[in-house]
Chain A
Amino acid sequence: MLRSLNINPDKCTGCLQCEMACSFENEGVFNPAKSRIKIFTFHDEGRFVPYTCTQCDEAWCLHACPVEAIRMNRETGAMEILDSVCVGCKVCTIACPFGTVNYNQTTGKVIKCDLCGGDPQCAQACPTEAITYVDADATGLEKMRAWASKTDNQAHAN
Chain B
Amino acid sequence: MSWTRRILRVNLTEGSISEEPLNMEWADQYIGQRGLATRYFVEETDPTCDPLGPDNKLIFATGPLTGTMASTGGRYSVITKGPLTGAIACSNSGGFIGAELKSAGWDMVICEGRSPSPVMLHIVDDKVKLLPADDLWGKSVWDTDRLIHEKLHDPQIRIAAIGRSAEAGCLYAAIINDLHRAAGRSGVGTVMASKNLKAMAVRGTQGVGNIKDPKSFMQVTAEQKQVLAENAVTGQGLPAMGTQVLMNVINEIGALPTNNMREVQFKDANKISAEAMAEPRDSDGKPNLTTNAACFGCTIACGRISTIDKGHFTVENKPEYWGNSGGLEYEAAWALGADTGVGDLDALTYANFVCNEDGFDPISFGATVAAAMELFEEGVITTGQTDGMELRFGSAEALAWCAEKVASGEGFGADLGLGSKRLCEKYGRPELSMTVKGQEFPAYDPRGVQGMGLTYATSNRGACHLRSYTVASEVLGIPEKTDPLSVDGKAGLVKAFQDATAAVDSTGLCVFTTFAWSLDNIAPQVDAACEGGWTAEKLLEAGERIWNLERDYNMRAGLTGADDSLPKRLLKDAAKTGPAEGKVAGLDEMLPEYYQLRGWTPDGQLTAETRSRFGLPA
Direct chain A–B contact by Cβ atoms under 8 Å: yes
Is there contact, CB below 8 Å, between A33 and B205?
Answer: yes
Per the bound structure, the CA–CA distance linking A21 and B156 in Å amounts to 18
Q: Does B299 contact A (CB under 8 A)?
A: yes
Q: Does A76 contact B (CB under 8 A)?
A: no
Is there contact, CB below 8 Å, between A31 and B208?
Answer: yes
Per the bound structure, the CA–CA distance linking A1 and B136 in Å amounts to 56
Is there contact, CB below 8 Å, between B323 and A44?
Answer: yes
In whole Å, how far is A70's beta carbon from the nearest beta carbon of chain B?
A: 24
Chain A residues with CB below 8 A from B307, complex form: 46
Is there contact, CB below 8 Å, between B324 and A43?
Answer: yes
Chain A residues with CB below 8 A from B206, complex form: 29, 31
Per the bound structure, the CA–CA distance linking A30 and B103 in Å amounts to 8
Is there contact, CB below 8 Å, between A17 and B299?
Answer: yes
Per the bound structure, the CA–CA distance linking A34 and B206 in Å amounts to 9
Is there contact, CB below 8 Å, between B324 and A46?
Answer: yes
Chain A residues with CB below 8 A from B67, complex form: 30
Chain B residues with CB below 8 A from A30, complex form: 67-69, 103, 207-209
In whole Å, how far is A76's beta carbon from the nearest beta carbon of chain B?
A: 22
Please report which residues of chain A, range 22-38, place their CB below 8 angstroms from some CB of chain B when the two chains form the complex: 23-24, 27-34
Chain A residues with CB below 8 A from B323, complex form: 43-46
Q: Does B298 contact A (CB under 8 A)?
A: yes
Counting from the closest, the 8 A-B pairs by CB-CB distance are A31-B207, A44-B323, A46-B324, A29-B207, A15-B294, A46-B290, A29-B209, A127-B299
Is there contact, CB below 8 Å, between B205 and A44?
Answer: no
Is there contact, CB below 8 Å, between A45 and B324?
Answer: yes
Is there contact, CB below 8 Å, between B179 and A43?
Answer: yes
Chain A residues with CB below 8 A from B113, complex form: none
Q: For B293, give its contact among A14, A27, A33, A34 (CB under 8 Å).
A: A14
Per the bound structure, the CA–CA distance linking A46 and B324 in Å amounts to 5
In whole Å, how far is A113's beta carbon from the nearest beta carbon of chain B?
A: 18
Chain A residues with CB below 8 A from B301, complex form: 13, 15, 127-128
Chain A residues with CB below 8 A from B297, complex form: 15-17, 20
A-B contact count (CB 8 A): 89
In whole Å, how far is A27's beta carbon from the nearest beta carbon of chain B?
A: 7
Per the bound structure, the CA–CA distance linking A45 and B207 in Å amounts to 29
Per the bound structure, the CA–CA distance linking A44 and B71 in Å amounts to 26
Please report which residues of chain A, range 63-115, place their CB below 8 angstroms from some CB of chain B when the two chains form the complex: none
Is there contact, CB below 8 Å, between B218 and A33?
Answer: no
Is there contact, CB below 8 Å, between B207 and A13?
Answer: no
Q: A113-155 interface mask toward B, CB cutoff 8 Å, 1 = contact, 0 = none?
A: 0000000000001011000000000000000000000000000
Is there contact, CB below 8 Å, between A27 and B207?
Answer: yes
Chain A residues with CB below 8 A from B290, complex form: 46
Per the bound structure, the CA–CA distance linking A30 and B66 in Å amounts to 10
Chain A residues with CB below 8 A from B306, complex form: 46
Is there contact, CB below 8 Å, between B103 and A17?
Answer: no
Q: For A13, give its contact among B179, B204, B209, B292 (CB under 8 Å).
A: B292
Is there contact, CB below 8 Å, between A33 and B204?
Answer: yes
Chain A residues with CB below 8 A from B324, complex form: 43-46
Per the bound structure, the CA–CA distance linking A27 and B96 in Å amounts to 20
Seen from chain B, the residues whose Cβ lies within 8 Å of a Cβ on chain A are 67-69, 71, 96, 99, 103, 156, 179, 203-209, 214, 218, 225, 229, 239, 290-299, 301, 303, 305-307, 323-325
Per the bound structure, the CA–CA distance linking A27 and B205 in Å amounts to 12
Closest partner residue, chain A, to B306 (CB atom): A46
Per the bound structure, the CA–CA distance linking A85 and B214 in Å amounts to 29
Name 14 extra pairs, CB < 8 A, besides A17-B69, A24-B69.
Answer: A13-B291, A17-B71, A21-B69, A27-B207, A28-B209, A28-B214, A29-B207, A30-B67, A30-B68, A30-B103, A31-B208, A33-B207, A46-B305, A127-B229
Per the bound structure, the CA–CA distance linking A45 and B307 in Å amounts to 9
Could you list 8 examples of A-B contacts with CB < 8 Å?
Answer: A13-B292, A14-B293, A15-B301, A16-B99, A24-B69, A29-B207, A30-B209, A46-B305
Chain B residues with CB below 8 A from A33, complex form: 103, 156, 203-205, 207
Is there contact, CB below 8 Å, between B204 and A46?
Answer: no
Known contacts A16-B296, A127-B299; A31/B69 CB under 8 A: no
Closest partner residue, chain B, to A121 (CB atom): B218
Is there contact, CB below 8 Å, between A47 and B103?
Answer: no
Per the bound structure, the CA–CA distance linking A30 and B100 in Å amounts to 11
Chain A residues with CB below 8 A from B218, complex form: 24
In whole Å, how far is B176's beta carbon from the nearest beta carbon of chain A?
A: 14
Is there contact, CB below 8 Å, between A34 and B225?
Answer: no
Is there contact, CB below 8 Å, between B208 and A14?
Answer: no
Chain B residues with CB below 8 A from A21, complex form: 69
Q: For B299, give its contact among A15, A23, A24 (CB under 8 Å).
A: A15
Q: For A29, give its contact among B71, B208, B239 (CB under 8 Å).
A: B208
Q: For B291, give its contact among A27, A29, A46 (CB under 8 Å).
A: A46
In whole Å, how far is A52's beta carbon from the nearest beta carbon of chain B?
A: 16
Per the bound structure, the CA–CA distance linking A17 and B299 in Å amounts to 8
Is there contact, CB below 8 Å, between B156 and A20?
Answer: no
Chain B residues with CB below 8 A from A28, complex form: 209, 214
In whole Å, how far is B558's beta carbon from the nearest beta carbon of chain A?
A: 43
Closest partner residue, chain B, to A33 (CB atom): B205
Chain B residues with CB below 8 A from A48, complex form: 293
In whole Å, how far is B232's beta carbon from the nearest beta carbon of chain A?
A: 16
Chain A residues with CB below 8 A from B99, complex form: 16, 32
Closest partner residue, chain A, to B207 (CB atom): A31
Per the bound structure, the CA–CA distance linking A28 and B307 in Å amounts to 40
Per the bound structure, the CA–CA distance linking A43 and B324 in Å amounts to 6
Is there contact, CB below 8 Å, between B103 and A15?
Answer: no
Per the bound structure, the CA–CA distance linking A128 and B292 in Å amounts to 12
Per the bound structure, the CA–CA distance linking A109 and B225 in Å amounts to 34
Q: For B103, give its contact among A31, A43, A125, A128 (CB under 8 Å).
A: A31
Known contacts A15-B298, A15-B299; A34/B207 CB under 8 A: yes
Per the bound structure, the CA–CA distance linking A44 and B326 in Å amounts to 10
Per the bound structure, the CA–CA distance linking A60 and B298 in Å amounts to 35
In whole Å, how far is B76's beta carbon from the nearest beta carbon of chain A?
A: 15
Known contacts A14-B294, A43-B324, A45-B323; A125/B69 CB under 8 A: yes
Chain A residues with CB below 8 A from B207, complex form: 23, 27, 29-34
In whole Å, how far is B145's beta carbon from the nearest beta carbon of chain A?
A: 10
Closest partner residue, chain A, to B204 (CB atom): A33
Per the bound structure, the CA–CA distance linking A125 and B70 in Å amounts to 11
In whole Å, how far is B372's beta carbon from the nearest beta carbon of chain A?
A: 32
Per the bound structure, the CA–CA distance linking A27 and B325 in Å amounts to 33
Most buried by B among A14, A27, A48: A14
In whole Å, how far is A56's beta carbon from the nearest beta carbon of chain B?
A: 24
Closest partner residue, chain A, to B155 (CB atom): A40
Per the bound structure, the CA–CA distance linking A16 and B71 in Å amounts to 10
